Amino acid sequence: MPSGPSYLRVFLTFARNSLVRNMTFRGNFLIETFSSMSWVFMNLGFYILVFQHTPRIGDVSNWGEYSFAWGKYEFFLFLSTTLMVNSLVQALFMENASEFGEMIRTGTLDFALLKPIDTQFLISLQRIDWSSLGNLVVGIGLAVFSLHKIGWVPSVWQVLLFMLFVICGVAIMYSLMIALAATSIWLGRNQSLYNFWFYITNFSRYPMEIYRGTYGTPLRMFFTFIIPVLVVVNVPARFLVRPLVPQTPMDLLLPVFAFVATVASLVGSRWVFNRSLLSYRSASS
């Protein structure tokens, strides 16, 4: 009986090869790590400025249920969660998704289709961008620093739940990205789709409490239930800043929903991916 490839071993090989590749151009690796970090520090600077003028973002009194007033260091915890999710997405998938678009355009996808391994797995994880993991370290550092400033030590369960939902967040982002990349099979080119990805995920980078009012509420609903980018950072971040005791039904319901949304996104994106492959017509072969 022919046994399939060991996906874990293949993944580890990809990771090792990418690391070797990254380390071949060490100077470039350092510059890339450094430049993406400086971007983060500039962003942090912006929020430090904002918090010089306001004690918090979001208000408990006006929007009940699932709301939280983010003080400076609570918001930094939020920011560190964003950093962790984004750096993981970038390290694991970003390069591969753009490479996927190129493969479709140039026809090299043929080779990927011929390999005796799941095509989506191969396409999604072929290359790992180790330099993006620098921001993961910055994110963890920022989280530890903020927790220290608040004087709050989360329990083991909180940290575990936090990690679980960070992974869910990464999975949701990945699904969105691979689904968008797959559409380039139909469109031929995906330049503005990448911008689209960037602009949509832009919504995920703020606490969901800020979207309220006549226009905010529908927006929040849309980006929670239709395209679930708002749960990506909001759900894990909340596990870190607050005691685990649920105060309102939403505190329980939203994480459950986030979990369901993760599964649905993965299944949905897999469907889109496979559908798009059916329309692949290769190029000049």
Partner 1 sequence: MPARTAVWWTILRISLEERLVYRGDFALGTLMRFLPILTQVFLWWAVFTAASTGQSIDQTRIVGYSYHDFIAYYLLTMVSRAFSSMPGLASGIARDIRDGTVKKYLIQPIDMLSFLLLNRMAHKVVYYTVATLPFAFVFYLCGDFFPNGWPEPQVMAAYVASLLMAFLLGFFLEATIGMIGFWFLEVSSLLFVYMLFNFFFSGHMFPIDMLPGFWGEVVRIIPLQYLAYFPAAVFLGKVEGPELIQGLWIQFAWVVLFMFTSRAAFHLGVRRYSGFGG
- Rank residues 6 and 202 by Cβ distance to partner 1 and give the closer one: 202
Among 38, 155, 274, 282, binds partner 1 (CB under 8 A): 38
Rounded least distance, CB 155 to partner 1, Å: 29
For the packed helices 72-89 and 26-53, what is the interaxial angle rounded to 10 degrees? 150
- Rank residues 201 and 262 by Cβ distance to partner 1 and give the closer one: 201
- Contact status, residue 62 vs residue 145, Cβ threshold 8 Å: no
- Using alpha carbons, list the distances in angstroms from residue 277 to 72, 194, 271, 272: 46, 19, 10, 9
**Quick one: tokens of 230?**
């708002």
Rounded least distance, CB 201 to partner 1, Å: 11
Among 10, 11, 21, 59, binds partner 1 (CB under 8 A): 59
Size of the site for partner 1 (CB under 8 A): 37
Among 69, 164, 250, 277, binds partner 1 (CB under 8 A): 69
Distance CA 146, CA 248 (A): 25
Distance CA 29, CA 188 (A): 31
218 counts as binding partner 1 under rule CB under 8 A: no
Q: 202 — phi, psi (to 5°)?
A: -55, -35
Rounded least distance, CB 112 to partner 1, Å: 28
Number of neighbours of residue 223 by Cβ within 10 angstroms: 19
**Quick one: tokens of 144?**
């530890």
Rounded least distance, CB 7 to partner 1, Å: 35
Binding segment toward partner 1, per CB under 8 A, in 89-97, 202-210, 251-259, 261-269: 202-210
62 counts as binding partner 1 under rule CB under 8 A: yes
- Contact status, residue 140 vs residue 84, Cβ threshold 8 Å: yes
Name 70's bridge partners. Answer: 57
- Contact status, residue 178 vs residue 245, Cβ threshold 8 Å: no
Rounded least distance, CB 162 to partner 1, Å: 23
217 counts as binding partner 1 under rule CB under 8 A: no
95 counts as binding partner 1 under rule CB under 8 A: no
Rounded least distance, CB 223 to partner 1, Å: 10
- Contact status, residue 166 vs residue 252, Cβ threshold 8 Å: no
**Quick one: tokens of 10?**
């293949």
Among 53, 153, 156, 285, binds partner 1 (CB under 8 A): 53
174 counts as binding partner 1 under rule CB under 8 A: no
Tokens 């962003």 sit at which residue? 43
74 counts as binding partner 1 under rule CB under 8 A: no
247 counts as binding partner 1 under rule CB under 8 A: no
Distance CA 83, CA 139 (A): 5
Distance CA 254, CA 54 (A): 28
Among 11, 121, 130, 196, binds partner 1 (CB under 8 A): 196
Q: Which residues bind partner 1 (CB under 8 A)?
A: 31, 35, 38-39, 42, 45-46, 49-50, 52-59, 62, 69, 191-192, 195-196, 199-200, 202-203, 205-207, 209-213, 216, 219
